[in-house]
Amino acid sequence: MTTQEPVVFIVDDDPAVRDSLTLMIDQAGIRVKSFESAQAFLIAYRPDYYGCIILDVRMPEINGLQLQEILSRRKIVLPIIFLTGHGNIPMSVRAIKAGAIDFLTKPVTRENLLNCVYSAFLEAKKKTSKALQNRDALSRLAKLTQRERDVMTLAVQGYSNKEIALHLGISHRTVEIHKSKIMHKTGAINLIDLADIAREGNLNKQLSDNRPA
């Protein structure tokens, strides 16, 4: 879990809006950085950025919705609060469906904006924790051989050693050996713990391909 202080990243092409929002957020004792365009934010972005984005919709070259798509493709987990003077219902629905925390219209009250920021910070904390868990699980799974991954995939589905052996064409004893190595390499305490690691590491994507007929 990160102990880093969260930051509000403002992305808006209107300097008056950036200044107003910066003052409002700074007065609440929250760190803030502002950018005049989506391009400027993407150039400045670092993997250790933590907090949320207050994002305008209508901006030149890359608009707010396009930036949201870019961040999603790059798996950047900063929650987004849209703030625009040109919003409409289809636009807001699209933004929220794509994962935005809220879709606010200008002018916005200080109370409403800060409430959204605090909600976004909570979401950022959850997303960061989830990302760390995923990376840890992937690191553990990377230690396994392909055969061990095959055995693990079937084991966490509840198949017995005998069923796993039949499906993979190996002996019952070999399955037991693989299971022992899997538990040691992943650090799993029991099968439930192992199933959690498989889920966090997206190993369950292999389930349909490795399910016994």
Chain position carrying tokens 């999603």: 72
- Domain covering 143-210, topology: Arc Repressor Mutant, subunit A (1.10.10)
* Type of residue found at 206: Q
User: What are 138-150's pLDDT values in tens digits?
Assistant: 888 889 899 999 9
Over the chain (213 residues), the average pLDDT of each successive run of 10 is 80 95 95 96 94 94 93 91 82 84 88 94 87 81 90 90 92 93 89 85 57 49
Cβ 46 vs Cβ 71: under 8 Å? no
Show Cβ contacts of residue 131 under 8 Å, excluding neighbours closer than 6 positions: 77
Cβ 148 vs Cβ 174: under 8 Å? no
User: What are 62-110's pLDDT values in tens digits?
Assistant: 999 999 999 999 988 899 999 988 777 778 888 888 888 889 888 889 9
Q: DSSP assignment, residue 170?
A: -
The three-state secondary structure class of 30 is coil
**pTM assigned to the model:** 0.67
- Superfamily the domain 7-130 falls into: Response regulator (3.40.50.2300)
**What was the pLDDT predicted at 208?**
42
**What was the pLDDT predicted at 97?**
87
**What was the pLDDT predicted at 213?**
47
Closest CA to 80 of 133, 119, 28: 119
**What was the pLDDT predicted at 52?**
96
Domain ranges of the chain: 7-130, 143-210
